[in-house]
């Protein structure tokens, strides 16, 4: 969204995956968890001023364990649609003919 306060994203999907040692406990912000897929959340509208937060918890009593070969990992993917308004000079009524108006 490049910091443009006038532009907002719509019908957003946020996917958060973690390594097996821990999991997402809570989500905060305008997120709605998906009923079918774990780690998938939906956002109806998102602007540059919006923020999200997450709480994590250990998946097992051992915590992260002693293995140093695979550190705890988080992967986040965010997908959205942006509707941009036409500029005042761009409103030609459609058609896309490319010729000059008489």
pLDDT at 35: 95
Residue among 53, 67, 54, 52 at smallest CA distance from 20: 67
The residue among 56, 55, 47 whose CA lies nearest residue 12 is 47
8 A C-beta contact, residue 21 and residue 72: yes
Encode pLDDT of 6-60 as tens digits. Answer: 678 899 999 999 988 888 999 999 999 999 999 999 999 988 889 999 999 988 8
Which residues have a Cβ under 8 Å from the Cβ of 67 and sit 6 or more positions away? Answer: none
Q: Which CATH code is given to the segment(s) 8-84?
A: 2.60.40.1670
* Per-residue pLDDT at 33: 94
Q: What is the pLDDT of residue 3?
A: 55
> What was the pLDDT predicted at 1?
53
Which residue would you say has higher pLDDT here, 68 or 41?
41
How far, in Å, CA of 90 to CA of 87, rounded?
5
pLDDT for position 72: 84
The larger pLDDT score, comparing residue 76 to residue 87, is at 76
């Amino acid at each position: 969204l490049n910091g443009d306060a006038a532009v907002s994203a719509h019908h957003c999907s946020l996917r958060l995956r973690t390594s097996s040692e821990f999991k997402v406990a809570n989500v905060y912000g305008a997120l709605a968890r998906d009923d079918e897929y774990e780690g998938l959340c939906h956002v109806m509208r998102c602007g540059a001023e919006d923020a999200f937060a997450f709480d994590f918890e250990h998946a097992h009593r051992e915590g992260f364990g002693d293995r140093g070969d695979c550190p705890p990992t988080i992967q986040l993917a965010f997908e959205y649609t942006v509707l941009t308004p036409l500029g005042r000079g761009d409103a030609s009524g459609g058609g896309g003919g490319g010729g000059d108006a008489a």
